[in-house]
Amino acid sequence: MKFLDVIRTAVHNSFRSKMRTALTVVAIFIGAFTLTITTAIGTGISSYIDNQLASVGSADVISIGKATEGDSTVDDGPARYDPDKATAASGFPGGATPPGLPVGALSDDDIASIRGTDGILDANPVVMVAPSYIEFDGNGKYELTVNPSAAVTKADLAAGSQLGGLDDTNELLLPASYLENLGFTNAESAEGRTVTIGSSTYQGEMKEVTATVVGIQNESLFGSGVGLGQQLTDALVDVQNTGKPRGAPVGYFAAVAHIGSDATQPEIDAIKADLEDQGFVGRTVADQIGTIQTVVNGIVGVLNAFAVIALIAAGFGIVNTLLMSVQERTREIGLMKAMGMSGGKIYALFSTEAVFIGFLGSAMGALVAIGVGSAISNVLSETLLSDLQGLDVLKFAPASVAGIVLVVMLIAFLAGTLPARRASKQNPIDALRYE
Amino acid sequence: MNTPILSAQGIRKSYGRGSARFDALRGVSLDVNAGESIAIVGKSGSGKSTLMHLLALLDIPDGGRISVNGTDATKLSVKQVNQLRNEDFGFVFQQFFLTPNASVLDNVVLPLEIAGVSSKERKARGMAVLKQLELDDKAKNKAINLSGGQKQRVVIARALVNNPRVIFADEPTGNLDTATGSLVEDILFSLNKEQGITLVIVTHDVELAARCDRQIYIRDGLEEGIDTTAGAAA
């Protein structure tokens, strides 16, 4: 029997008992549908994070904090009191330690020693500024959130340019979501306009600083909040420190250092090890995003595992379907063998039938998943997730969809081996006597 | 004399073991010459079907020797046996063994499909043999929708489509009424006379057996008339 005839006959045979084939196909369909959707979620979120990573860009930035020792107070009890550390920690400009961060402040001496580390080009302390409101053209005062990493990252811009382009200007990046409330009609109309920022002094007196909107950025994971240029930050720190008693200790919860943009991974690792020896912890942007990606991959992995379990269950459906089919077609198999069909070809016939059922279920599952998933993704990105511009929750990569179909066909083939073997081993005489 | 197309020498075959052991054949010898028609006659359970299965190389004897065209069957490879059954043998069974929901033509060309003949040639040869059996107008019908006589003609067409040298027929008229049965018999014997196809017919029908050139009577696994004492003892 020719290869094409084997396929044709197998396809034909699989449609003989339509109900049984249909039910098996449904089982595979569910597994393939789930697997396609979960994989698409993984692809969608990963590619979003990758895009964000690209927009964050600066691979040459490393953020540095104080390493904390003995932080497992459960076992060891509280750490010994260190007067330097404590006084520095109480001196964050603008307030107390940000919640969730390890208490370990960097002093000016620490910044100096970071600057002196091999491979570090420059280092600046991250200062916390907490301006009270933002206003444009008398349209009312609105609260604002500052994006602490704006100075060291590249924003995903809707209009305008990045921070740092203009000298002697209080530069400011405005998130797209602020436009309407402040009274701008669109992103372009806000570019180059002057806004007023209010901040209170150390003694609670309100002072205003003017700033120029240089760019408008899309909402994103790493770029929510208003981005402040270095000069504007300095101006706001000046306001905050107005009236602050002299000699009060100064501390920073983190510093941002630049390294050579062509630094290789081993070089970065060496710098990090060097920092660690001095009692600091350095984290690159990739390290921080890597954590998020690990979590996302973990979740997607669990979802995929469920889909694979569904597929394995469907595989037993194939075994069952084909065993019944072999039983029903005993005489037909015997006849074909009597007419000189080899056991190998009989095996191929039933295996092909299994693979075809697998193909049918997985192709339908994948196609429906793509259809439904794309629709859901579109709806979500216009409603629930509209704040995260550029996020397609479900992203269907042709290669991974093809991979899923192939994997399901492989599972189907494996499921088909047992019935196919049984069919190929049948003795034509016993089969022909069978009533 | 020419080499017989099929030859069996003292073949034995038993099924089961121990007390359940059943000796279907206890040493039967038989030569089938090319072009003759031979009837294997016996009652149900006499071992006549087993003898036909062994001659058609569908089964392997426990003892004795089967030769095809003078070649010992045990010396043939599995592939050669398959090819021999596919190209030189045709089978007609009492229970038809047609695929019910496939078309008449598809049923008839099954041996050609197994042989790997192209689809175009299969159709041409299938239609030719259906025309020969006056079934060409039923080619597209489903096999299940035919009458018993038509079904048996389809089975004969399927046996003929590979231009076999031997047709094995197991109770070819067993499921048919007398009139249809004799029609089917006429077809088989005309193939024997006109195309020189060797016929091996297994039957318990004495009238059908009488139409064959030669009759072999099987009783309790032995050929009757050669060893009657064994038969009487059993």
Q: Which residues pair with A354 in a beta bridge?
A: none
Spatial CB neighbours of B65, under 8 Å, sequence gap ≥ 6: B7, B8, B9, B10, B11, B72, B73, B74
CA distance A123 to A110: 10
pLDDT tens string for chain B (234 positions)?
578 889 999 999 888 888 888 888 888 899 999 999 999 998 887 888 888 889 988 888 898 899 998 889 889 998 999 999 999 999 988 788 888 888 999 999 999 999 988 989 999 999 999 998 888 898 899 988 988 888 888 999 999 898 899 999 988 888 788 888 888 889 899 989 998 999 999 988 888 889 999 999 988 888 886 544 443 433
Looking at residue A364, its pLDDT comes to 94
Q: Tell me whether residues B82 and A342 touch, CB distance under 8 A.
A: yes
Q: Which residues in chain B touch residue A334, judged by CB atoms under 8 angstroms apart?
A: 97
Spatial CB neighbours of B38, under 8 Å, sequence gap ≥ 6: B32, B198, B199, B200, B201, B212, B213, B214, B215, B216
The answer to whether A317 and A23 have CB atoms below 8 angstroms apart is yes
A331 in contact with B, Cβ within 8 Å: yes
Closest CA–CA distance from residue B112 to any residue of chain A (Å): 8
A6 in contact with B, Cβ within 8 Å: no
Q: Tell me whether residues A340 and B115 touch, CB distance under 8 A.
A: yes
CA distance A214 to A208: 19
Looking at residue A402, its pLDDT comes to 93
Is residue B202 exposed (0-12), middle (13-18) or buried (19+ Cβ within 10 Å)?
buried
Residues 94-133 of B with CB under 8 A from A: 95, 97, 99, 101, 110-111, 113-116, 118-119
ipTM for this prediction: 0.86
Looking at residue A70, its pLDDT comes to 46
B168 in contact with A, Cβ within 8 Å: no
Q: What letter would DSSP give residue B163?
A: -
Closest CA–CA distance from residue B180 to any residue of chain A (Å): 24
pLDDT digits (tens, 9 = 90+) for B71-80: 898 899 989 9
CA distance B59 to B78: 12
Q: Which amino acid is at A101?
A: L
User: At A10, phi and psi to the nearest 5?
Assistant: -65, -45
% of chain B with per-residue pLDDT over 70:
95
Q: Which residues in chain B touch residue A435, judged by CB atoms under 8 angstroms apart?
A: 95
CA distance B113 to A402: 32
SS3 category, B138:
helix
CA distance B8 to B123: 37
Q: Which of A331, A336, A427 sits opposite B114 (nearest CB)?
A: A336
SS3 category, B197:
coil
- Both tokens of A430, joined, read 């016993």
Using only the alpha carbons of chain A, give its radius of gyration: 32
The nearest alpha carbon in chain A to B78 belongs to A342
Q: Which of A325, A331, A339 to mutate to test the interface with B (most CBs of B within 10 A)?
A: A339
Using only the alpha carbons of chain B, give its radius of gyration: 18
Looking at residue B102, its pLDDT comes to 86
B18 in contact with A, Cβ within 8 Å: no
- Both tokens of B26, joined, read 């206890």
pLDDT tens string for chain A (435 positions)?
778 888 888 888 888 888 888 998 998 999 899 889 988 888 888 888 777 766 555 567 788 887 765 444 455 667 677 666 545 444 444 444 444 444 567 877 888 888 888 878 777 777 778 888 888 888 888 888 887 767 666 777 778 887 776 777 888 888 888 888 888 888 888 888 888 888 888 888 888 888 888 888 877 665 578 888 878 888 888 888 887 776 666 677 778 787 776 777 788 888 888 888 888 888 777 777 777 778 878 888 888 888 888 888 888 888 888 888 888 888 888 888 888 899 899 999 999 999 999 999 999 999 999 999 989 888 888 887 776 666 777 888 889 899 999 999 999 999 889 999 988 888 888 777 754
Q: What letter would DSSP give residue B73?
A: G
Spatial CB neighbours of A370, under 8 Å, sequence gap ≥ 6: A36, A40, A396, A401
A339 in contact with B, Cβ within 8 Å: yes
Domain ranges across chain A: 3-54+292-433, 59-277
Type and span of the H or E element at B135? none
What is the separation, in whole angstroms, between the first and last Cα of chain A?
Answer: 27
Q: Tell me whether residues B116 and A428 touch, CB distance under 8 A.
A: no
pLDDT digits (tens, 9 = 90+) for B175-231: 788 888 888 889 899 989 998 999 999 988 888 889 999 999 988 888 886 544 443
Q: Which residues pair with A217 in a beta bridge?
A: A157, A175
B60 in contact with A, Cβ within 8 Å: no
CA distance B17 to B19: 6
A338 in contact with B, Cβ within 8 Å: yes
Q: Which of A5, A9, A340 sits opposite B82 (nearest CB)?
A: A340
CA atoms within 13 A on the CB side of A262: 0
